[in-house]
A and B are shown apart, each in its own frame.
Chain A
């Protein structure tokens, strides 16, 4: 069902697909009542949500700062208005003025139509938090989208893509459904490719007990991003690390953050800690995945079911630290083309990776040009929070959502001659931008940052 009463919607998971991720769909006639019950429960727990419900004065600061609104010009995609889709229900049932004066104070009765509007608009928001970044009251509208999607999930409404990812994680420990033999075959292929192209011997150990480092790659790297995998393997080999990839968690992403923070996100966290425990690892190093790094860095300690005895770092943190100490010999000439950096939202607005990414990119390229705005002010790629839907209506919407990014890239002048590099060090950004740079005819190639680092390493 691509549309509901004129609103675009992603394909939704079937009841069977929902059951695979431990959610029991609620029958339509019970959905409004259940939605209220769940909303009541959740508002009592999350102060961040209540702040968003109670404090917004509709100043409009968020509107022009939201790439979704800029790309679609749909008023419901203004963050304040998107939040209003829930706020009007919150007001009707949980505030005095709403109970007494109803529509006069902007309150509305819950209905299936309202729930369907949540499904449309909370899955056009990419949870990028640029609106939160500019809100004078500090309202984090992403928290509202989180809760909107959580309510929908409990009602049994989740996109097919997100549910499939949850199901694959349950089954094999990654989002793309890669079983261990496939993982090993691809890693052996990577070793051969590194030997062919760079002439160095790099092994990718899997499930090696007593590894100092377990590296958590994004599983999309195994299908689409060869240089990200190769770059990480070369980096760990270069620094002489005792490392491995755990076959039970070949996934840096955690879609639980994006649609089900109760069961799915928590389950993934504990799966990770089990892997670290079983391999007797000393440290966990994260691969290129924006939302996944936020889920790991910011949520693992509070969601873990045990004390977390492993330091958790990002591969960019590791590399930047060594670059600052002068311990990596790098030749930026190996990345000769003009390069710009797309900042993954979760890295810069949630995890403080801003400086470290720049430390690396400036050391490994000869012609680095910032886009405007940059860093924590940067815009989302338009695919954030996994809204990588490819049914025709939603795909058209993705092109609109990436318009702002396309304008930013074009303004750098990179790609005019067809030789630019758009560095986008996150799997969702990559998956969104691979087709979008073609749709917008930008003349740039999309690469990760570890990709560029691997190429720049100078071997003894």
Chain B
């Protein structure tokens, strides 16, 4: 009994529980992000994009696809994971997780795994939706998938931290709305960093989302604002920081145990 090295049953139980929640609310989980992304394509890709020059050899409508997928991926990863852990805290059902023979990293794998799974699926659905609006090419499909999964995991982990930190629904929204959304819009979802005046370009390099979008766009078109190695390194650094913070949270019981 005590030789239970990994509580596989618990990881599966949490993961399945979280996935079941998604299928129960398909409108909120799947349909609404697809609809809002489609609106971006119609407005930026169709209406405005037809008046924009190509960037490199990529039409503007196609150029914004990786950025739009990233926008949804970041927003949804954070929303999924933060809600998944905040809601049990809010209702009190988290007592069961805390009293269970579950290691912190097992809980993280299950919650973050489920949140990341959802946002990867969503990213792929948006990608499919995009093909209905603009011609797409993917030069490095394996890297594209890898980057999709890595980003989903990293930001689900970030969302998980927000969910634990939040002590009210407002706080749950503050970081996504006031930090992540602006960083994503300013991170080159809709333009190349090269288009910015040099002062703002320098500022932009402090925005971590720039590296995500740039790396992801490279996997589509071979175009990048920053080197792909740097993109990858920055993402991994952020992932490592998030893992460290989550480990600390569970070791100290911060916001979980009195």
A associates with B = no
On A, residues with C-beta under 8 Å from B are none
Residues of B within 8 A of A (CB): none
